[in-house]
Amino acid sequence: MTTSATTPMPPTTPTPPAPGASRRVDPSAAVARTTSHSSFQETLVQTLAMAWRALKKMRRKPEQFFDVLIQPLLFTAMFAFIFGGAISGSVSDYLPVLIPGILAQTALTVCMATGVQLREDMDKGVFDRFKSLPIARIAPLAGPMIADLIRYGIASVLTLVTGLVIGYRPGGGVLGCVGGIVLTVIAGWSLAWIFTWLGTMARSAQSVQGISMMIMFPLTFLSNAFVPAETLPGWLEAFVKVNPVSHVVSAVRDLLNDGAVTAEVGWAVIGCAVVVAIFAPLAVRSYSRKM
């Protein structure tokens, strides 16, 4: 039916798949062929196959892009007009502070969806098959996260565009903007491992949602995303300064507003790397245990 022209199979072999469908299955040969774990290259292929699956699902269920589309539009405009005057004196003065903050907040919201969707997905029968296949345990987790890069990308670009429409003029120029968005996407992807871990631990998708909210709100609002840290009481300022989200926000501000790759950018990247280094193994371990 769909013998696509791209298939590099020689036309002389009508039944290419099984090396001789009539040949008998040989258990001893099969045992000899087994490997004790997936190689790095196999893991990569498996992860990409899982990403392919996630992309197919996205295409079929466009409603899951709702949060990615609405939140940037709504929150950017709302926060700009409500807090602009109070915090920075005017909306246009507030936008350079706000846009990087909203970018971080949006990225975190998308992360949350990553965890919730993974949990939902894991309850389906097909995960039984994934678990019964000889694939690296990280592939079913990392695959959807790669596909989610698209969601982070859409959310970040939309936020920035909304800002531009309202009157934001980033001083960092095109390069600064690209840098800011790339950093947002990296940060979103890294922080998503926390929520993926939650997804493998929690009992239901609802509980992932609940726990994620409790993590997300303090992380975004107890940061410098919307207000300057200096205006806060001392104890809170101390927390805000160690909050990784603050570093990401500061770094994105530096990139967007000044086009400068500052130490904050370095800290943000290191912070992201640390989050991945801690939570990726935790997530894989908890997923394997669940089998």
Closest contact distance (angstroms) between CB of 79 and another protein is 35
96 or 140: whose CB is closer to another protein? 140
Contacts of 166 (CB under 8 A, 6+ apart): 76, 77, 80, 91, 95
174 or 203: whose CB is closer to another protein? 203
What is the C-alpha to C-alpha distance for residues 83 and 203, in angstroms, rounded to an integer? Answer: 38
Contacts of 167 (CB under 8 A, 6+ apart): 91, 92, 95
Query: Within 10 A of 275 (CB to CB), how many other CB atoms are there?
Result: 18
Confirm or reject binding of residue 33 to another protein (CB under 8 A). yes
Residues 46-85 that bind another protein (CB under 8 A): 46, 49-50, 52-53, 56-57, 60-61
124 or 169: whose CB is closer to another protein? 124
58 or 69: whose CB is closer to another protein? 58
The window from 33-41, 90-98, 238-246, 270-278 that contacts another protein (CB under 8 A) reads 33-41
Confirm or reject binding of residue 285 to another protein (CB under 8 A). no
The window from 1-9, 105-113, 232-240, 251-259 that contacts another protein (CB under 8 A) reads 1-9
- Interacting residue with another protein among 5, 28, 174, 235 (CB under 8 A): 28
50 or 91: whose CB is closer to another protein? 50
Tell me, by CB under 8 A, how many residues bind another protein.
Answer: 52
Closest contact distance (angstroms) between CB of 38 and another protein is 7
CA quadruple 112, 143, 74, 173: dihedral positive or negative? Answer: positive
27 or 233: whose CB is closer to another protein? 27
10 or 233: whose CB is closer to another protein? 10
Confirm or reject binding of residue 12 to another protein (CB under 8 A). no
- Interacting residue with another protein among 30, 86, 174, 242 (CB under 8 A): 30
38 or 209: whose CB is closer to another protein? 38
What is the C-alpha to C-alpha distance for residues 77 and 162, in angstroms, rounded to an integer? Answer: 7
* Window 89-128: contact mask with another protein (x via CB under 8 A): ----------------------------------xxxxxx
What is the C-alpha to C-alpha distance for residues 197 and 129, in angstroms, rounded to an integer? Answer: 21
CA quadruple 137, 142, 143, 144: dihedral positive or negative? Answer: positive
Q: Which residues bind another protein (CB under 8 A)?
A: 1-4, 6-9, 15-18, 21, 24-28, 30-31, 33-38, 42, 45-46, 49-50, 52-53, 56-57, 60-61, 123-135, 139, 291
